[in-house]
Chain A
Amino acid sequence: MSAPLVLGVSFGYLLLLFAIAALADRRAAEGRSVIDNPLVYALSLGVYCSAWTYFGSVGEAAAEGIWFLPIYLGPMLAMLLAGVVILRMIRIARTYRITSIADFIASRYGKSPLLAALVTLITVVGIVPYIALQLKAVATGYQIMTAAPADSGALVWWRDSTLYVAMALAAFTILFGTRHLDSAERHEGMVAAIAFESVVKLGAFLAVGVFVTWGLFDGPADIWARAAVLPELRALARLGSGTGEGGFGHAQWFALVVLAMLSVLLLPRQFQMMVVECVDERHLKRAAWVFPAYLFLINVFVLPIAIGGRLIFGMETVDPETYVLTLPLADGARALALFVYVGGLSAATGMLIVETIAVSTMVCNDLVMPALFRGRGFGAYSGRDLTGLLLNIRRAAILGILLLGYLYFRMAGDAYALVSIGLISFAAVAQFGPALLIGIYWKGGTRLGALGGLIGGFSLWAYTLMLPSVARSGWISADFVAHGPWGIEMLAPERLFDLAGLDNLTHALFWSLLANVGLYVGLSLWRAPGARETSQALLFVDIMKRGDAGEAPVFWRGRARIADLEALAVRVLGDERGRLLFAGGQAGQSTGHGAGPLADAQLVDRVERQLAGAVGSASARVMVASVVEEEALDLDDVIAILGEASELRAANEKLKSLDQMKDDFISSVTHELRTPLTSIRALSELMLDTPDMDEAQRAEFLRIVVGESERLSRLVNQVLDMAKIESGQAEWHNSDVDLGALIVSATGGMSALFAERGTAIALDLPPAVPPVRADADRLTQVLLNLLSNAAKFVPEGRGRIEVSLKIAGDSLEVRVRDNGPGVPSADRAHVFDRFRQGGDALTRPPGTGLGLPISRRIVNHLGGEMWLESEPGEGACFGFRLPLPPAPEGEKK
């Protein structure tokens, strides 16, 4: 195919991506986000499938069989944890405006600039081979399509198309990712474009899969049948060890799955897409199965293509990693080949764009900015708008990273298969696992532990994996790999301490993670964390306990002038966004003394978090500290602040619920007052307007008016009563009360009413009971409430009410039992609620709905309790218990 055609298609595709991104950005500006969609979110996670997947998997499968799979099983397993681990990461990142993995780890361990720089360095070193891999894939694809000479290493650099690919992608990424500075480091357009790329590469890969399986062969069964005849292919479909020497490599399989699980959480681009760009954490639910399904689909045709390629090309010199292109080309399907090439391009560009944007953010915030501050002091930049500077640093970082990738590609690219290069990078970012994943669950992890773990793990990674890969490329002596430095076999990088029998990756992973976790935990336990580490640990680990950041404690004390903070915010965030932070007027302001208004801790924290979104939390810390006077906190202060915060929260919650209760009460009272008022008003007006109303009618109306007036006054009295008791303003005239005598007199007072309704009353009282300390009038009120309540519900003419009194331990128990319908189970929980009356309005006897609640409050005030015992159909029984005063010494048994 002609070079102009392939180049034209390539640039056309990139332009299309750009158009999609621009469209998404515009929609976002209009408030109609396209990426606020669980499917788009899940697809954007597909950035995991880079050129490695697209070309490398087939190569791996053609050589090793199903060993390409663990790299995809790992993420599938990781997504099972989505609801727990990833959700936690997303919430932490959003709450504290964390925009990169370096920022995340540094922030967790006290916003340590050193840790941020270390993580960034590890990322850059670890990720460069991976960048090289993508460049290699794009270059190879281009060469195959244009049938250019395959050996790019033979070309002088300025004629190497890979360099131009790298430059073009750098320009593209700069345009894509650094057009403006976002305090949440979100890139709507980029996410939309990446989601689109995920669709393209999946479509292209499925297309070539279908073409090979059903176009070149008669379906998968045909491929398998033909492969089974050839001994060298038979092994591919089995779970043999990598090199086919029999036996299944459990350790290696396990290592790869774990490695991929860590990578899908920790690779800069995955962190960017999954955590930073997550618009709504609810999208995670859908992504938890869509993303694994995506991985499944993109792997379905890997084996058929690999085996099909081997069958067609035999053991010829065609590189299996290029089968997806060479198979259609060999069959003359040029259009398909072009489509597949575009798919490969999208796999590689997707990875490159997101990875370089993520890493450039880290390089800028965690390496360059701190160095600038240290070199000339932050003061040197005073008065300057930093947004332009920040963007330029990022642009330079993007270019630098891509050029580093190109350099690695030129130096080592040809010696390695795509898969091996990728795995080196995976193993590097896996080193972040302990500090990050343990750190968000274990408050005991310290900065020292994290530093030690990372340095230890990374050093071993470099020694056991990176150095041998460099040696294999011929840059340093291979003897060193074979026999150890200075011939010391024990230190041989791929058989450290004579640990043999593992492949080099499993070996490296074992030693590096062992050292990493060991140092992390050991050093964390050895030295107690400082105040800032402790406070950050609390904020991170307890994230799920808080609704949002507003409720989190703020660990800051000092004096900060609002004017200084505002000036800082404007310089970093730009004029408009910086001022917006302070637009709340007096909010966040505390009393000032001459020097202008001062900011309170909440405002300082809010400003620092916004700055963290733009420059990283470690740099934001330095900047804020440079414009305010801070008190250094010690561990006791942290604990004190934490205590205050939780007290405050509890008090707030209590106030809120009291407020709610008061509102409910007022609205119920209003409702209850309106009902009798309505009758009174309507009937009185009718009588007034109808002079010729007949006497009987008028008398009935008047009777109702009187009755409703009584209801009103009862209600008013009881509401006042209730309010007094609740507010503690009621007067209590306590004396020694003989409860037996009280019961007799209360029932006596109601006997006329009982007789009228034909209700029998039975008393079951012991001859004498000890007196209780109580207000006799209020206790009578309780008894009358219970008796009239019972009287209302017993059947007319054959009602029966039993009142019993007995001594139960150190208290007296009174029960009022009736033979009414009982309380339905649904209402039982509410009988003591205010304005909750049993029965429906028609058959319900008159009452205010306050009798029982008031009674219960009286009993509670006297140190007792009131309850309901009721079986439906057996009548209701209300009981209460009052404590007896402690017996004098002499009477004790």
Chain B
Amino acid sequence: MSATVLIADDEPNIVISLEFMMKREGHRVLVARDGAEALEAIRRERPALVLLDATMPVHSGFEVCEAVRADPAIRDIRILMLTAKGRETDMARGLGAGADAYVTKPFSTRELLEKVREMLA
């Protein structure tokens, strides 16, 4: 089952690892380097899933997530939030912003893949 997945992260090496995983799963992969690019790509491509880094330039992942949920045209897009911050307040902030799932960095690739499969099922 092939789906379009948007990877939004500003760390090139993390993008490489995520891209490899998603491609191996057989998905079509799009990449955004900051919050503005991510929003634009979401509006244009309507991906099935967004892997969204919380701390990005221009707009943070939280802001992107809130913007997606506020826009009726794209509000149903599934979002998996990734962040380098693991504190509970950040988790709450992420879920409060409307993310469907939340994974802290450094993440286990297996767990991440399981979550992605679950969300795309």
Q: Kindly specify which of A17-25, A63-71, A676-684 makes contact with the partner chain.
A: A676-684
Task: Please name the residue on chain B nearest to A685 by beta carbon.
Answer: B109
Q: Mark B66-98, 1 if CB is under 8 A from A, else 0.
A: 000000000000000000110000000000000
Query: In whole angstroms, what is the CA distance A840 to B21 when docked?
Result: 25
From A678, A686, A697, contact of B21 by CB (8 A): A686
Query: In whole angstroms, what is the CA distance A154 to B33 when docked?
Result: 96
Given A689-B109, A690-B24, A678 contacting B34 (CB threshold 8 A): no
From A670, A679, A707, A840, contact of B14 by CB (8 A): A679
By a CB distance below 8 angstroms, the chain B residues around A697 are: 20
Given A677-B106, A682-B107, A685-B110, A841 contacting B17 (CB threshold 8 A): no
By a CB distance below 8 angstroms, the chain A residues around B108 are: 681, 685
Decide if B57 touches A679 in the complex (CB within 8 Å). Answer: no
Kindly state whether residue A830 has any CB partner on chain B within 8 Å. Answer: no
Kindly state whether residue A671 has any CB partner on chain B within 8 Å. Answer: yes
Given A675-B105, A689-B109, A682 contacting B14 (CB threshold 8 A): yes
Query: In whole angstroms, what is the CA distance A842 to B14 when docked?
Result: 11
By a CB distance below 8 angstroms, the chain A residues around B34 are: 840
Decide if A840 touches B33 in the complex (CB within 8 Å). Answer: yes
Given A682-B18, A683-B17, A841-B57, A674 contacting B10 (CB threshold 8 A): no
Query: In whole angstroms, what is the CA distance A680 to B16 when docked?
Result: 11
CB distance from B18 to the nearest CB of A (A): 7
CB distance from B67 to the nearest CB of A (A): 20
Decide if B24 touches A671 in the complex (CB within 8 Å). Answer: no
Query: Chain B: how many interface residues by the 8 Å CB criterion?
Result: 23
Q: Which of the listed residues A675, A677, A682 has the most CB atoms from chain B within 10 Å of its own CB?
A: A682
Given A675-B84, A840-B34, A686 contacting B109 (CB threshold 8 A): yes
CB distance from A708 to the nearest CB of B (A): 6
Kindly state whether residue A704 has any CB partner on chain B within 8 Å. Answer: yes
Q: Mark A751-790, 1 if CB is under 8 A from B, else 0.
A: 0000000000000000000000000000000000000000
Instruction: Please tell me the size bucket of the interface on A.
Output: 20 to 34
Kindly state whether residue B55 has any CB partner on chain A within 8 Å. Answer: yes
Contact residues, B4-55 vs A (CB, 8 A): 10-14, 16-18, 20-21, 24, 33-34, 55
CB distance from B87 to the nearest CB of A (A): 8
Task: Please name the residue on chain A nearest to B16 by beta carbon.
Answer: A704
By a CB distance below 8 angstroms, the chain B residues around A690 are: 24
Decide if B12 touches A674 in the complex (CB within 8 Å). Answer: no
Task: Please name the residue on chain B nearest to A697 by beta carbon.
Answer: B20
Q: Mark A695-726, 1 if CB is under 8 A from B, else 0.
A: 00100110010011000000000000000000
From A667, A704, A840, contact of B57 by CB (8 A): A840
By a CB distance below 8 angstroms, the chain B residues around A685 are: 108-110
Task: Please name the residue on chain A nearest to B109 by beta carbon.
Answer: A685
CB distance from B64 to the nearest CB of A (A): 16
Decide if A679 touches B13 in the complex (CB within 8 Å). Answer: yes
Decide if B17 touches A679 in the complex (CB within 8 Å). Answer: yes
Decide if B11 touches A679 in the complex (CB within 8 Å). Answer: yes
Query: In whole angstroms, what is the CA distance A420 to B110 when docked?
Result: 91
By a CB distance below 8 angstroms, the chain B residues around A667 are: 85
Given A671-B84, A678-B84, A708 contacting B13 (CB threshold 8 A): yes
Task: Please name the residue on chain B nearest to A674 by beta carbon.
Answer: B84
Query: In whole angstroms, what is the CA distance A667 to B89 when docked?
Result: 13
Q: Which of the listed residues B85, B105, B106 has the most CB atoms from chain A within 10 Å of its own CB?
A: B106
Query: In whole angstroms, what is the CA distance A704 to B19 when docked?
Result: 14
Given A675-B84, A675-B105, A690-B24, A842 contacting B12 (CB threshold 8 A): yes
By a CB distance below 8 angstroms, the chain B residues around A682 are: 14, 17-18, 21, 106-107, 109
Q: Mark A103-119, 1 if CB is under 8 A from B, else 0.
A: 00000000000000000
Given A671-B84, A683-B17, A841 contacting B109 (CB threshold 8 A): no
By a CB distance below 8 angstroms, the chain A residues around B18 are: 682
Task: Please name the residue on chain A nearest to B21 by beta carbon.
Answer: A686
Task: Please name the residue on chain B nearest to A681 by beta carbon.
Answer: B106
Residues in A lying within 8 Å of B, measured CB to CB: 667, 670-671, 674-683, 685-686, 689-690, 697, 700-701, 704, 707-708, 840-842
Q: List 4 A-B pairs, minimum CB-CB distance, nearest first.
A: A682-B17, A679-B13, A841-B10, A674-B84
With A675-B84, A679-B11, A841-B33 already in contact, 9 other A-B pairs whose C-beta atoms are closer than 8 Å: A667-B85, A677-B106, A678-B107, A681-B107, A682-B21, A683-B13, A683-B17, A690-B24, A842-B10
Residues in B lying within 8 Å of A, measured CB to CB: 10-14, 16-18, 20-21, 24, 33-34, 55, 57, 84-85, 105-110
Can you spell out 20 A-B residue pairs with CB atoms less than 8 angstroms apart?
Answer: A674-B85, A675-B84, A678-B11, A679-B11, A679-B13, A679-B14, A681-B109, A682-B109, A683-B13, A683-B17, A685-B109, A689-B109, A689-B110, A704-B13, A708-B13, A840-B34, A840-B57, A841-B10, A841-B12, A841-B33
